[in-house]
Amino acid sequence: MSRQAVIDTIIKLKKERDAVILAHSYQVKEVQEVADFVGDSLELSREVTKVECSTIVFCGVHFMAESAKLLNPQKKVLLPVMEAGCPMADMVTPEALKRAREKYPDAAVVCYINSSAAVKAESDICCTSSNAVKVVLSMPNKRILFVPDKNLASYVAGHVPGKEIIPWEGFCATHSAVTERDVEEARIAHPGAEVAVHPECSPAVARMADYVGSTSGIIERVSKSSCGAFIIGTEAGLLYRLQKDNPRKRFYLLSKGLICPDMKKTRLEDVLQALEKGKYLIEVEDEVRRRAVLSLERMLSVV
């Protein structure tokens, strides 16, 4: 089937199956183009609560589709590639989190949305990279156990005076591989360009940046800045959206390694298969869902 035929069939099936396609900004360009909505984790969590169609095809990684299911238990949520996971989300298990809670009984547990439903069920509240600071500040506790990303935890710790952040030892292999040397070399190659990085990068890299923020934060910064060129320190997929929205500005990826293998697993053909065969269906056990959704809903009520 030609690429255009695949796109036409996706559009036709979407109507027939009463489906909406949501995609994270790290998805490949072709998938972003067929999506009804493209956004970051927070925007997508908000968007799923507004969906009217009976089926959501979630082009992203497993925890994102699972969060969509938590917020929409009555809808059919499909993840086109079941193996598309987030290795960082797997760095914390509910058992290990329960043990840590016993060690820090006075701490509130804030879990990054990049986590399983079972981990969300053991947490007090969720956050994303765009609202982590506000979420932490909303908690009455002085101590916060922040799971699983130690780099986001470090970024948050620098913006919440009076709070003690206890970081988990997780990290994103894609973002944390960016080095200070990458920043130095990119600044030499593109003098005058602003450096904008995701808080999943290491604290050393974040300190060298002009701006640190989530994907939606980077989009906003770029649109408001008078600068004409940007060095982007997050997953390569975001450059498609940035270039489309800002055709007169120039964008350079901070490091060649900024490609998340899991986010790149979903292709147009997988979206087509998802619609044709109704796969892969995301399910969450009732008891886990009941507790996990509270963490997500608390987050959405804060920001």
- Asked if residue 174 binds ligand SF4 (CB under 6 A), the reply is yes
How many Å apart are CA 31 and CA 264, to the nearest integer? 10
H or E stretch at 195: strand 194-197
Q: How far is the CA of 19 from the CAs of 5, 111, 243, 264, in angstroms?
A: 19, 30, 28, 22
Residue 214 touches which member of ligand 13P, ligand SF4, none, C-beta under 5-8 Å by kind: ligand 13P
Minimum Å gap between C-beta 262 and ligand SF4 is: 5
Binding mask 231-260 for ligand SF4 (x = CB under 6 A): ----x------------------------x
Where in 222-281 is the site for ligand 13P (CB under 6 A)? none
How many Å apart are CA 122 and CA 128, to the nearest integer? 17
Residue 59: strand pairing partners: 23
- Asked if residue 27 binds ligand 13P (CB under 6 A), the reply is no
Q: Would you state the structure tokens that stand for residue 302, as one six-digit string?
A: 């804060």
Where in 71-90 is the site for ligand SF4 (CB under 6 A)? 86-88
- Asked if residue 40 binds ligand 13P (CB under 6 A), the reply is yes
In degrees, rounded to 5, the angle at the alpha carbon of residue 169 between the alpha carbons of residues 148 and 254 is 80
Minimum Å gap between C-beta 26 and ligand SF4 is: 6
- Asked if residue 114 binds ligand 13P (CB under 6 A), the reply is yes
Minimum Å gap between C-beta 140 and ligand SF4 is: 29
Q: Would you state the structure tokens that stand for residue 5, as one six-digit string?
A: 């035929």
- Judged by beta carbon, residue 174 or residue 266, the one nearer ligand SF4 is 174
Instruction: Calculate the CA 228 to chain-centre distance.
Output: 26
Q: Would you state the structure tokens that stand for residue 161, as one six-digit string?
A: 């005076």
Binding mask 150-189 for ligand 13P (x = CB under 6 A): ----------------------x-----------------
Residue 57 and residue 42 in contact, taking contact as beta carbons nearer than 8 Å: no
Residues that bind ligand SF4 (CB under 6 A): 61, 86-88, 114, 172, 174-175, 200, 235, 260, 262-263
